[in-house]
Amino acid sequence: LTQTPFGRRTAGVPDHPPGLFVFFGAESSYFSAKARPAFRIKRIPFEEHLPTADAYAVMRRRTGYTFLPTVITPEDDAWQDTSDILDRLEARQPAPPLFPTTPVQRIVAYLWEIYADEFLLIPGLHYRWSFPESEAKARRDFGAASGAPERSNALADAIKQFARAVGVVPETAAVIEAHTERLLARLEAHFDTEPWLLGGQPSLADCALMGPMYAHWYLDAVPSRLLRERAPRSCHWIERMNHPNPDAFGAWLADDALAPTMRPLLEGIGRDAVPVILDTVRAVEEWADAHATPGLNPPRALGMHASTLGGVAVQRYTSPYTLWMVHRVLDQYAALAPAGRAAVDAALAGTGCEALFAHQPRHRIGKRGFDLVFA
C-alpha cells in the first residue's frame, strides 16, 4: 500500500478516493449484475473498474481467482463471491435490508438466489451462446469492456465451452426457452401488482434475478428483443434495480405473506430447477463418498453426471459449489424455530420446492479464504 493524493491505495488498483469500494465488474457479467444493485440500494459509495488486464492481475493477486465481480473494501480487504459480498454489505449497512427476517420471505429470498445462481445460469448462457447474433455482440461487448479483444475472445471461448457443460446443447434449447418464456410471463403478472419480488422493497431475491435478467437477457442481442416485446414490466423492474430510489421503497408484504403471483413462480422453480440442483448435489455426494477427506479442496468440476432439463436427458458437469449453495439455504431453514419451518413448509407445499428441504446432504462444503473445502 502506498499513500497517494487520494489517500490509501491498493497496489495495482488505480487511485480511488478513500471511503469508496472498488467493484471490478462488467455490464455483461451475470454476477456483477447481481451484486451491483445492492450497493446502490444501500447507498454505499463504490467505483466500478473495468475488467482490464491490470484489474485481472489485482484480482488474481488478492483472491487467487479472476472472478467478476471482485470487491476491494475501503479498508483494503478483498471480497469475492456475490453471496459473501451481499452478506457482508448487509452486515455493514443494514438499512435498507436485503435479507428478510421473517421465515417465509427469508427462505423464499434464498430460494431465488439458488434458483438464479445455479439454474437460470443455464438459460442465461443459452440465449448468449446458442445464437450467432447474440454471440457476436457478446464477444464485442467483452472486448469493449476489457480493451483487449483477443484475450476477451479466449475468455468467450472458455465460457461457451462452460455453457455446454451446464447443459446448453441443441437438444435442450426448446425446454430452456419454454422455461424462460413461462418465467417471463409469470414475472409480468407479478410486476403488474408488486414493484419487487417480495413486495414494496427489493431483496436478495431481486438482486439474484438481475444476473440473468439484466446482464444476459436485457443486453444480449436475441433475448433483448424478447424482453422488450414480451416483458415490459420486467424491463422497468431491471431499470429500477439498476437505478433504485431508496426513498421510494415501501415494505415487504405484511405478515410474512407472499403475493398470490409468487405461487406460479415458485412452481416453476420446484418443477424445473430443484430436480437439476438435487441431481448435482447427489453427484457431488457420490464423488465425496469415494474421494473426499476433511480439509480437501475439491477441483472446480468433479466430472459429469446425468440429469434432466424439463424432461430432456442431459450431461452436466458436477459442481461442488452447488453443494455449498444448497447448504446456504438449508442452514437458513434449519435455523428457524419449529413454527417458522412449519410456515415455510405450508407456503411451499405442492410447489416442488419442498424436495430441496427434504434432502439432507451427507457431506458439507465450506470455505477457507476464497477456496471451497470439504468440512
Site string for ligand GSH, 148-177 (x = CB under 6 A): ------------------------------
Let me know the angle formed at the C-alpha of 126 by 123 and 127, rounded to the nearest 5 degrees: 90
Site string for ligand GSH, 81-120 (x = CB under 6 A): xxx-------------------------------------
Told to check if 29 binds ligand GSH by CB under 6 A, we report yes
- For residues 239 and 89, the answer to whether their CB atoms sit within 8 Å is no
Question: Shortest gap between Cβ of 260 and ligand GSH (angstroms)?
Answer: 31
C-alpha cell recorded at residue 6 = 487520494
The contacts of residue 294 (CB under 8 Å, 6+ apart) are 374, 375
Please choose, out of 61-69, 179-187, 269-277, 355-363, the segment that lies near ligand GSH by the rule CB under 6 A.
61-69
C-alpha cell recorded at residue 5 = 493524493
Question: Shortest gap between Cβ of 174 and ligand GSH (angstroms)?
Answer: 25
Nearer to ligand GSH, 19 or 64 (CB): 64
Told to check if 31 binds ligand GSH by CB under 6 A, we report yes
Told to check if 370 binds ligand GSH by CB under 6 A, we report no
Question: Shortest gap between Cβ of 87 and ligand GSH (angstroms)?
Answer: 11
Q: Quick one: residue 255, left, alpha or beta (phi over 0 = left, psi -120 to 50 = alpha)?
A: left
Strand ranges, E, within the chain? 2-4, 7-9, 21-24, 46-49, 70-72, 78-80, 304-309, 312-317, 365-368, 371-374
Question: Shortest gap between Cβ of 214 and ligand GSH (angstroms)?
Answer: 12
* Cα–Cα distance for residue pair 198/251, rounded to 1 Å: 9
C-alpha cell recorded at residue 18 = 478513500
Told to check if 68 binds ligand GSH by CB under 6 A, we report yes
Which of 30, 112, 119, 218 forms a contact with ligand GSH (CB under 6 A)? 30
Told to check if 63 binds ligand GSH by CB under 6 A, we report no
Three-state SS for 3? strand
* Cα–Cα distance for residue pair 35/208, rounded to 1 Å: 8
Nearer to ligand GSH, 191 or 217 (CB): 217
Residues that bind ligand GSH (CB under 6 A): 29-31, 66-68, 81-83
